[in-house]
Each structure stands twice: as C-alpha cells, then as structure tokens.
Structure 1
Amino acid sequence: MLQRLSFSLILGSVLPLNIYRSIMNGSIARATTAVTILPDIPGSPSRCNDLIISGRLNSGKAVVYFGGDIQDLEPAMVSSGCSAYLAWSLENTATLLSSKFPDHLIVAVRPARKQDLVFSCFDNFVQSTAEISPSEYDPQYGASQHLDRLLSSLQNLLRSTFQELYIVGFSKGCVILNQLLHEAPHILDKDGSAGLPVLSKVKKLYYLDSGHASTVDFWVTDDQAVHAFVNLTSLDAVHICNTPYQTERPGRPYYKLQLNLFADICRNLKVLKQQILLFGSKPFDQVTLEDHFQVLKLFPV
C-alpha cells in the first residue's frame, strides 16, 4: 500500500513553504526552479493524484511525466529501501526534466499506490488489480478525462492556461500513454476533442524504455487507436527511446514485434519523430538498472 505523506512531512522535506503559500494564495512567481509537491489534486470524481511540479510556473507549455517502478518521493523511497536510487526520485526527475525543457512547466504525476512498496500502480489511469497493474486496457476507463481534469485543476491553481502539452512516459509509466491511445476512438466517437479541452493540446509523446511485468501488450498495435489520438489532439511527434534492458529481456517474444508495429503506424501517420536505441552494444546480461534510468538523462528532446 502507498503511504500517503502528510503536509508536515512534505513541507519539512522538499516543499518550499513560501512557494506553496504563494500558490495557494494565487500569487505565483514568474519562474522558479524549485520543486513543489501538491497533494491530492482532484481530477475525475473520486480520483486525485499528488503532483510534483518544477520549472516555469507561468509557462503556457507543460511536460507531464509518468514514471516507473521504484520512483517515488524521496522520503517514501528511503522508507521502502530504495535509497540507492534517490537520484531518480520524482523530485530529482522533475528537476532533471526542467533542465531538458527549460521553457516548460514540469508536472510529475505520482502513482496512486505502490505495491510491495516498490511497484507503481497508476490505478486512476489504468485498470489494475491488487496484484497486477495494468490488468487490461479498458477503452472506457476514463484516464483521458481524469488527466484532462487533473491538469485543469492545476491550471486553476496556477492561474495559467496550457497551450501545449508533452507527455513523457518512462518504463511502466508508458502504460498511461498506451491507455490514452486505446481510449481515443471511443472519445472521438462520443464527444470529440471538445470534451478534453486541455488534453487536446498534446503535441508530443515520449516513450522512454517502455516496459512492464503485466500480461497486457507492451505497445499499441491498433492503427485506428493511434489515428484517433492524432485526430483528438494536436499530436505531431512521437519519440521512442529504448535500451536492451527492455528490448532484449528474456520471456518477451512479442516485445520488439509490437514495438516495430507501433513505430510503423506512427511513421505512416507522419508523427514518428525518432526511434533510437541507447546502449545498443550491450547484451542483456550486461545492461543494468542504472542504464535503464540513464535514459532519463540521455534521451534527445
């Protein structure tokens, strides 16, 4: 189970108190590189997520980040025995992304819970069970609406309007991107982009070493889903960056087949910006978890 941090713990660890009070009072500094944690931001009814923000608070451009297993707030990582990977905490990753996207607001979405203290479960975005996350891609699960309303709440809090969105998924976090694609045909048929005023501003998707230990597909191979998402949003660029940590992992006979199918779909729709492999000379038995995390530093924007 996820141990939810109290305001006092958050304020005492990483949240600059003056910035938090400024945000709550509606008085926002023009720019800051500090990391701010906003607990329990509401999205769809009965769904909320903690958000970690960094970068330009007044920017009309935002990068939304969904991380992988292990990644969490630093106090939670320490308590779960993951201190060796604190360099990749959500706070540090938000700071890193703000250096890669200096003109953007960075918004890292904390998973709703952790299984066995380590495994990220984005229950508000993708169907999950107590043991498996994700358990399926349900096209009517409502991840798109939740993300749209979550970002709308953040806009209201910051008194800002996002004109351009990039969504970055790393490792298991890429299942959220998959879920959004699977939902697109249903949303397009029902409401169109009018029902998603914020999410319709998505221009770029970044798949960074996508992978998970579930039984669902690794990549979206339904061309209608990808096409619908292109029509639903402002998408013009899909970036794919992998390492052998995912592509050569044993027991995944369909991973590279699905990856190439997804890339071909994006290429045919003229939205594939790049597909690269880092550490490609390393066999799987030599690639490390640290190599996997290094993608966050090395991927081109």
Structure 2
Amino acid sequence: MGSEVQPGRPLRLLQVEGFEARKNDVVYCPSGAPSTPPTVAAVFPGDVQDFTENMEAHRDNRRHKQWNLERTAQVIQRHFPECHVLVIKPSRMDFKTFSCFQNFVKSDQLGVPDHTPNHNSLRHLDRLIKNASCTLQESSDSELEEALRVSAKALGESGNAPDGVSICRNNFYGCPLKLIGFSKGCVVLNQFLHEFHHFKVAPKEDEEVFGVMARIEDMYWLDGGHSGGTNTWVTSKTVLETLASSSIRVHVHVTPYQIDDDRRPWIKKEEKTFSDTLVKLGCDIKRSVHFEGVPPTLLTHFEVLNAFS
C-alpha cells in the first residue's frame, strides 16, 4: 500500500452492520494527525442532512446542500484532526427530510424519540464502529477507491484520488470516543444517557456495554432539538446523576434558534434543567451560547457546526 488517504477525504461505507439486523450508512473521514493517539468521533447529524444527491433532488433541502454528510465529516475532522470521524446516517429520512435514528432510539414518523431504559443503542454503536473498521481493512482497493470517487463527486471535487494516495486501513476499533449530536442527532446521545443509567443499576455488569462506556471521553450536544413537544433534553435527575458520576466531559453548544424559540418554550426550560443539574452534581460540563443578538435562522443553527470547539 502507498500513503494513507489525505485528511479531509471522506468516503461512504454503505449498510454497515451493527447490532443484530440493524444497519446504517456511514461517512468515514480518516485521522489527519497519524502521529497522535487516535480517537473516534461518532457524529449523529440532524434533519435535512443527507447525501448530496438526495438533498439536490429535494425542492427545499437543496438550499442547504452545503451541510451534506461528507462536508459535515470534513468540518468535524477540522475540529478534531486526531480523530477518525464517522458520520452515522439515520436509518430513515422520513419525507426525505426528517432524520429517524430508529436503530438507536424508538422513533415515530418524524423521528420524535420515545426513550426507553435500553434499546441496545450502545451495542449498536460499538458494532457499527467495529464493522466500519473491518470494512476498511477487508475491502479491495478498487471498492474503496470507488467509494472515494463517489464522495469526491458529491463534494464537487475531482472524481479521482490524488496521486500517491491510497486507502487508510488503520484499525480504530477500541479507540477512545467522542460522541457528537447535532440538532435531531442529539436524541441518540439522550438515549445513551438512559442506557448508562440502565446498565449501572442492572443486577450484573455487561462486559460489552461497559467496554463502550469506558471509552467515551467527551459528549457534545450541538443545538439539540426535535419536533416533539417534550424530552428534547434529559431532565431526569437520577439519569443525570449517572452521567455526572462518570468521567465523561460534557459540552453544550446552543443558539437562539433552539433556546429562544417562543413557539417551543420547553426547549429552553429543559436545556437549563439539564445544564444546571449537571453543574450542581459536579459534572465536568462546559456550556456555550453562540450567535447571541443575531436573528435566529436555520443558517445560524447549522453554523454551530463551524462555531463550536
């Protein structure tokens, strides 16, 4: 093999297997800092975000095609150059717009979550990461080069890989984890919190699940929101106590688009409860409000992906 894929060259891994029969498409971006210990950033995107060709074919969503999944992977990779980035596409896009992470949390037709103590979402995440890594190692050069060309075309770049570039085959399974939810994608992080608590109080330890939990170093909530009328943020004190008792660093980044929407006042209230409770419990939490004083729009909502750090 030659050198690895250049940083910022994403590729699609289609129908990666996870827990039991669950599968998700994944956009992978390799670490841009191979000399440092690698980390995996697992990213859960929001409504509208899809493969570029699907966004371009939609009358409304084409206006936001710059936030396609490949470009989102590049944005996250710039924030965390030491990370192997995995943008996990929801298993359904209802009405070609609403992200439905049914494989991680029970959801209705608009992707509104119905959180349960255990939906095996942590197992699904663990096996997705493992099988994504295996796919990169086991696929032929021609298969992965074709995946690179597809993603390059989606980004409006040359369909050919640069001279001297080969395929990254690093095994990143078992690396420390950063979990990043944006907008609707935050429902997955919320489900993880319910499962943290479920397995903490379970009568016997689950080696697989505790192995995943032990690898999580950071969790990022980026302007969380969904179209339901409640449960945008976790407010259960017992569930938050479990998070606070862990060593996970919590990062909250919000904008007026979500927390100052008079039509959805529960979002502001729930986010305040979430953040204030974690502070009182001694959790390592950092909270930032972006674009204060700027008229809230969908643009500023998406821009939190660039603004957070």
Alpha-carbon distance, 1:230 to partner = 5.1
- Aligned 1:26-45 pairs, distance under 5 A: 29=4, 32-45=7-20
Distance in 1, Cα, partners of 2:286 & 2:239: 20
1:124 aligns to what? 103
The answer to whether structure 1 residue 92 and structure 2 residue 71 are counterparts is yes
Name the CA shift for 1:148/1:161 in 2 (closer, same or farther; >3 Å): closer
Contact 1:148/1:199, CA 8 A, preserved across alignment: no
Alpha-carbon distance, 1:157 to partner = 3.5
Residue 29 of structure 2, aligned match among 32, 41, 54: 54
Distance in 2, Cα, partners of 1:226 & 1:155: 32
Contact 1:65/1:168, CA 8 A, preserved across alignment: yes
- Aligned 1:1-301 pairs, distance under 5 A: 29=4, 32-56=7-31, 60-81=38-59, 82-129=61-108, 131-158=109-136, 159-190=171-202, 191-192=204-205, 194-196=207-209, 197-229=211-243, 234-235=247-248, 237-282=249-294, 286-300=295-309
Stretch moving more, 209-218 or 261-270: 261-270
Distance in 2, Cα, partners of 1:257 & 1:298: 23
Distance in 2, Cα, partners of 1:272 & 1:281: 28
Contact 1:135/1:216, CA 8 A, preserved across alignment: no
Secondary structure of residue in 2 paired with 1:198: helix
Secondary structure of residue in 2 paired with 1:144: helix
Q: Which runs of 5+ in 1 are unaligned?
A: 1-21
Contact 1:98/1:106, CA 8 A, preserved across alignment: yes
Contact 1:147/1:199, CA 8 A, preserved across alignment: no
Distance in 2, Cα, partners of 1:183 & 1:46: 20
Q: What is the identity, as a one-letter code, of the residue corresponding to 2:122?
A: S
Contact 2:94/2:110, CA 8 A, preserved across alignment: no
Alpha-carbon distance, 1:258 to partner = 1.4
Alpha-carbon distance, 1:49 to partner = 0.4
Q: What is the identity, as a one-letter code, of the residue corresponding to 1:128?
A: S
Structure showing greater relative contact order (alpha-carbon pairs closer than 8 Å, 6 or more residues apart)? 2
Q: What is the identity, as a one-letter code, of the residue corresponding to 1:52?
A: V
Stretch moving more, 155-164 or 100-109: 155-164
Secondary structure of residue in 2 paired with 1:34: coil
Q: Normalised by the size of structure 1, how large is the TM-score?
A: 0.82
> Residue deviations 1:86-114, cap 9 Å, x none?
21111001011111111111110001111
Alpha-carbon distance, 1:146 to partner = 1.0
Secondary structure of residue in 2 paired with 1:215: coil
Q: Which runs of 5+ in 2 are unaligned?
A: 137-170
Alpha-carbon distance, 1:31 to partner = 5.6
Distance in 1, Cα, partners of 2:251 & 2:272: 13
Q: What is the identity, as a one-letter code, of the residue corresponding to 2:54?
A: A
Q: What percentage of residue pairs aligned between the two structures are identical? A: 30
Alpha-carbon distance, 1:52 to partner = 0.4
Alpha-carbon distance, 1:251 to partner = 2.7
Q: What is the identity, as a one-letter code, of the residue corresponding to 1:156?
A: C
Alpha-carbon distance, 1:252 to partner = 2.2
Q: Normalised by the size of structure 2, how large is the TM-score?
A: 0.80
Name the CA shift for 1:183/1:87 in 2 (closer, same or farther; >3 Å): same
Alpha-carbon distance, 1:138 to partner = 1.2
Distance in 2, Cα, partners of 1:276 & 1:120: 25
Alpha-carbon distance, 1:210 to partner = 0.7
Question: Number of residue pairs matched?
Answer: 269
Contact 1:71/1:77, CA 8 A, preserved across alignment: yes
Alpha-carbon distance, 1:167 to partner = 0.6
